[in-house]
Amino acid sequence: MGIIEAILLTVITAATPLVLASLGELVSERAGVLNLGVEGMMVMGAVLAFAVTQATGSPYIGVLAGIACGALFSLLFGFLTLTLVANQVATGLALTILGLGISGQIGEPYVGMSGIKLQPIAVPLLSDIPFLGPLLFRQDIIFYLSIALVFGLNWFLFRSRAGLKVRAIGDSHASAHALGIHVIRTRYLAVMFGGACAGLAGAQLSLVYTPQWVENMSAGRGWIALALVVFASWRPWRLLAGGYLFGAVSISQLHAQALGIGIPSQFLSALPYIATVVVLILISHNRRMTLINTPASLGKPFVPDR
C-alpha cells in the first residue's frame, strides 16, 4: 500500500464518525429540533459499544448496542423538549453533561483495556480494483452504513412523502399541525434517529478509530458535527464533503506530528477546532443565505393547541 493510500485510509476513518453524527443531527434539525447533546449521545454510544463488545466478544453486537444506547439516551432529550417543552439549548447541554458523566462511570473498569477491532469486510471483485478497492471496498460495516445513509437520507428528505412531512414540520410546525401531520410524534422519531446515528458514530470511535475506551474520547467531535450541519446548509451531500474535509484536517495533525514539523503539537491539535470556527464564519456571514437554509422553526417549542 502506498503512502497516499495509507493517508487517505486514515482520513476515511477520521471522517466517518463526523459524517454519521452530523447526518443524525441533520434529520433532527430538519424536523425543527436542535439537539446540542450529540457529544453526550456519542460518548454514551462509544462506552456501551465497547462494554458490550467486551462482554460478548462480538463487535457487531457492540455496534448494535451503541446504536440502541444512543437512541434511548436521546429519548430523554425528546421527553424534556417535546413533551415538557423545555428549552432545547439547555436540555441539549444537560444531555452532554450527563452523557460525559455516566460514560465516565460506566467506562471506569475498561480504561486501559485493549479492545476488539471491528474487522473490515472486503466486497468481492470491487475490492480488487487498484487504489480505490482497498480504500472504499475493504472497509468495516460502519463505513458502508455511513455512505448508504448519505444516499438514503438524500432520497428520503427530498424524494419521499415522509421526508417532505419532516421538512414541513421543520419549516412551520403550526402549518404542519394544521394539515394533520403528527408534529410531536415525527419529532420524537427524528430525535431518536439522531441519537442512533450519534451512538453509531460513538461505536466507530471505540471499535474502529481507536479500539479502546478513553474517557471523553469523543473529544468535541459531537460539537464539530453540529457545526458541520450548518456548514452543509442541511443537505446530506454537502455534509459528506464537509465531513471528509474535517476528517482530513483532524488527521493532518497526526501526520504533521509524525513528520516532525517544528510546530508545537498543541497547535496542531487545535487545528480542527480552529477550522470549525473559520468555516462557521465563512458560512454564516452571508445573513440571507443562512436565513434561507435554516429550518424556520428550528429550536422553537411546539405545544399543540386544543
> Taking CB under 8 A as the rule, does residue 220 contact another protein?
yes
Minimum distance, C-beta of residue 120 to another protein, in the bound complex (Å): 31
> Taking CB under 8 A as the rule, does residue 84 contact another protein?
yes
Contacts to another protein from residues 18-77, by CB under 8 A = 36, 76
Contacts of 266 (CB under 8 A, 6+ apart): none
| Binding-site member from 72, 98, 147, 164 for another protein (CB under 8 A) | 98
| Binding-site member from 4, 132, 148, 274 for another protein (CB under 8 A) | 274
- Residue 160: how many CB atoms within 10 A of its CB? 12
Query: What cell numbers appear for 239 in the block?
Result: 455534509
Distance CA 134, CA 136 (A): 6
- DSSP class of residue 213 equals B
Helix (H) or strand (E) holding 184: helix 183-204
**Number of shown-chain residues binding another protein (CB under 8 A):** 52
> Taking CB under 8 A as the rule, does residue 260 contact another protein?
no
Query: What cell numbers appear for 146 in the block?
Result: 455511513
Nearer to another protein, 55 or 129 (CB): 55
Task: Determine contact, residues 137/121, Cβ cutoff 8 Å.
Answer: no
Task: Determine contact, residues 141/118, Cβ cutoff 8 Å.
Answer: yes
Distance CA 129, CA 136 (A): 10
CA 144-27-41 angle, to 5 degrees, is 75
| Binding-site member from 155, 284, 292, 296 for another protein (CB under 8 A) | 284
Minimum distance, C-beta of residue 180 to another protein, in the bound complex (Å): 6
Task: Determine contact, residues 169/298, Cβ cutoff 8 Å.
Answer: no
Binding-residue pattern over the window 121 to 150 for another protein, x denoting contact by CB under 8 A:
------------------------------
> Taking CB under 8 A as the rule, does residue 306 contact another protein?
yes
- Residue 205: how many CB atoms within 10 A of its CB? 29
Minimum distance, C-beta of residue 270 to another protein, in the bound complex (Å): 5
Distance CA 211, CA 244 (A): 21
- Residue 129: how many CB atoms within 10 A of its CB? 13
Nearer to another protein, 103 or 146 (CB): 103
User: End-to-end distance of the chain based on CA atoms, in angstroms?
Assistant: 65
> Taking CB under 8 A as the rule, does residue 214 contact another protein?
no
> Taking CB under 8 A as the rule, does residue 157 contact another protein?
no
Distance CA 289, CA 26 (A): 17
> Taking CB under 8 A as the rule, does residue 108 contact another protein?
yes
Nearer to another protein, 146 or 276 (CB): 276
| Span near another protein by CB under 8 A; candidates 98-106, 126-134, 153-161, 167-175 | 98-106
Amino acid (1-letter code) at residue 44? M
Nearer to another protein, 89 or 132 (CB): 89
> Taking CB under 8 A as the rule, does residue 101 contact another protein?
yes
Binding site for another protein (CB under 8 A): 36, 76, 80, 83-87, 89-91, 93-95, 97-102, 104-105, 108, 178, 180, 182, 184, 219-220, 223, 226-227, 230, 264, 266-267, 269-270, 273-274, 276-277, 280-281, 284-285, 287, 290, 303-306
